[in-house]
Amino acid sequence: MTDISQDKLVNALRKAVSRTSLLAEGNDPELDSAIRQIRVQISKGADAAAIQTILDNVEPLLLKVDEARLTRAKHFRHTLHDLIDVLDQHGQNVPQSEKKAFETSIRSHWQSLPHWPQLLKEYLALVESTLSHSTPIDNEKRTLISRIFRRSSSPQNKLNSQEALQQVSHTLSGLLNNLALPSHYDNQISELKKALANNHTFHSFPKLLDDVIALIMVAIGNTQEGLTSYLNELNKQLASINDSIVKSYRSQKNLSESREGFNATMQQQVQEAASAVQQADDLDTLKLLINERMANISTTMSRYRKQMISQEKMSNQSISLLKSKVTRMEKDTSSLRTSLQEKLAQAMTDALTDLPNRAAYQDAILPLCASSQKNAKPLSLAICDIDFFKQVNDTWGHLAGDKVLRLVPRQIRNALNKPDLLYRYGGEEFVIVFPNTTLEDAHQRAEAIRKEVEKAPFNVNGEPVSVTISIGLAELIDEEYEAFFSRADKQLYCAKEAGRNKVMVDNATPEREH
């Protein structure tokens, strides 16, 4: 193998190793050893061009998986901070040093899925510690969670215990939405979400939290299983390609060795013939000598031809074996790509409504904002929230609530233009991105959306149910995304305050050249 192709191979494999190392970060020693074995393959040498092509195809997919993982991790980090907020609101004696230590743990480990259960357990320890720093232990045996929420029912606290419990349950439900588990877990996740939403007692809360942790463990198992088998497979195939290359190299070497041997023998025989001619005294002896030498040369040549033919055959065989191995590896890679694409689509889709979910929104919105600002094109954002949705759940049950959650986006779609993008942001909240749309046009469309939902004939068990939505709207100006979202969100809050079933607009508009 030439130095250049060796360099190419080393680079390609280094890229793959660094990507897979990233994915395998914090996983078990088996994965680390698989990565080490790939490094060994690099040093042994393999067909650079074939592997480069395959890795180039795999790399963007691995990158996408990384991004989805990062989005989930960010969501988890928010969840933990939400949980700390709940604790701050309800426990006046949160021990600051332990809270800081927990926040440091979050900072160090939020990106590593295997640490998530540990972080949730640390949260429970912080709850426990908060309690032991506060009121003296009651005689009544209450669970830790029940005590902290019980204290929250004092009038100076903003939320009552039920609301606090709901807030935590809601946060954990959001976390479940972002776990990216295979679809056969959908039922279990939706049951657990239902149990969280319906949970009005504190004693069952730790059990529910345990169930959430168990599902996170499954998600960890899945990630590791997939990666381990992928790395093992890649490793096996690299090893077998390496084998074929070594064989092919050996037969090439044999060929050139026999060519050298042939040259030497021929030279020797020609020299022998020449000296025999000089030594011959008469014509008959000379004829005899020449015939003898020519016969020798002809035997050597036919032996050499036979050897060549058999070695060429061997060389061709090992090349075609190598080709079929590379083809198989390409096929396997393409099925890996398909399964990664399916997993990616699953992670980006909300199972209840089939809409792209919050992770998908977060992937899309920053590039959309950047491109609108760069090209001086308008971009508007609407945040929609179903009014009094809790009442729907409380009156007709969660299944009816889920039905409404599926129907509302259908109504919204009736008033959207083709390029408009609709996402389920979480719970009963939807966001709509209006690319290339001014605030004025987006306002008209948002009004149409509000009316579509208002006039829709929703019903549960044949009984009509009135469903409306409130909408907050803003157009992107020269600002950070967070400020843009917060302006729309503030308007949603105003729409709720103003009596709901309203569209409220933030009137800041970008300066346009006329």
Under the binding rule (CB under 6 A), the answer on residue 393 touching ligand GTP is yes
Token match 């890679």: residue? Answer: 333
Residue labelled with tokens 């429970």 = 124
Q: Binding ligand GTP by CB under 6 A: which of 249, 262, 304, 388? A: 388
Among 321, 352, 364, 460, binds ligand GTP (CB under 6 A): 352
CB of 103 to ligand GTP, least distance (A): 27
By CB under 6 A, the residues from 29 to 88 that bind ligand GTP are none
Rounded to an integer, what distance in angstroms lies between the CA atom of residue 419 and that of residue 396?
35
Return the residue of 385, 420, 452, 489 that touches ligand GTP, per CB under 6 A.
Answer: 385
User: How far, in Å, CA of 435 to CA of 411, rounded?
Assistant: 20
- Return the residue of 10, 195, 197, 314 that touches ligand GTP, per CB under 6 A: 197
* Choice from 120, 405, 467, 504 touching ligand GTP (CB under 6 A): 405
State which residue, 329 or 383, has the beta carbon closest to ligand GTP.
383
Contacts with 475 (C-beta within 8 Å, 6 or more apart), sequence order = 378, 379, 380, 381, 438, 439, 442, 506, 508, 509, 510
Please give the Cα distance from 171 to 55 (Å, whole number).
39
What tokens were used for 503? 């569209």
Q: 């996408």: which residue's tokens?
A: 64
CB of 428 to ligand GTP, least distance (A): 5
**Owner of token pair 């079933």:** 501
Binding residue for ligand GTP, selected from 110, 149, 389, 425, defined by CB under 6 A:
389
Q: What backbone phi and psi angles, to 5 degrees, belong to 427?
A: 45, -125
Residue 15 found at the interface with ligand GTP (CB under 6 A)? no
**SS3 (DSSP) at 349:** strand
For ligand GTP, the closer CB: 42 or 473: 473
Tell me which residue of 357, 496, 493 sits closest to 422, measured CA to CA: 357
Figure out which of the listed residues 401, 422, 443, 505 binds ligand GTP, where binding follows CB under 6 A.
Answer: 401
Site string for ligand GTP, 424-453 (x = CB under 6 A): ---xx-------------------------
Contact 117, 175 (CB under 8 A): no
Q: Residues touching ligand GTP: how many (CB under 6 A)?
A: 18
Tokens of 183: 């679809």
Q: Does 99 bind ligand GTP (CB under 6 A)?
A: no
Choose one: 144-152, 251-259, 389-397, 407-415; the region binding ligand GTP (CB under 6 A): 389-397
Tokens of 316: 């061709």
Q: Is 463 helix (H, G, I), strand (E, B) or coil?
A: strand
Q: Which of 74, 112, 114, 24 is nearest to 363 (CA)?
A: 74
Measured CA to CA, the distance from residue 488 to residue 482 in angstroms comes to 10
Task: Show the site string, 471-510: x = touches ligand GTP by CB under 6 A, - = not.
Answer: -------------------------x---x----------
Binding of ligand GTP by 241 (CB under 6 A):
no
390 makes contact with ligand GTP (CB under 6 A): yes
Which residue ranges make up the site for ligand GTP (CB under 6 A)?
Answer: 170, 197, 352, 385-390, 393, 398, 401-402, 405, 427-428, 496, 500
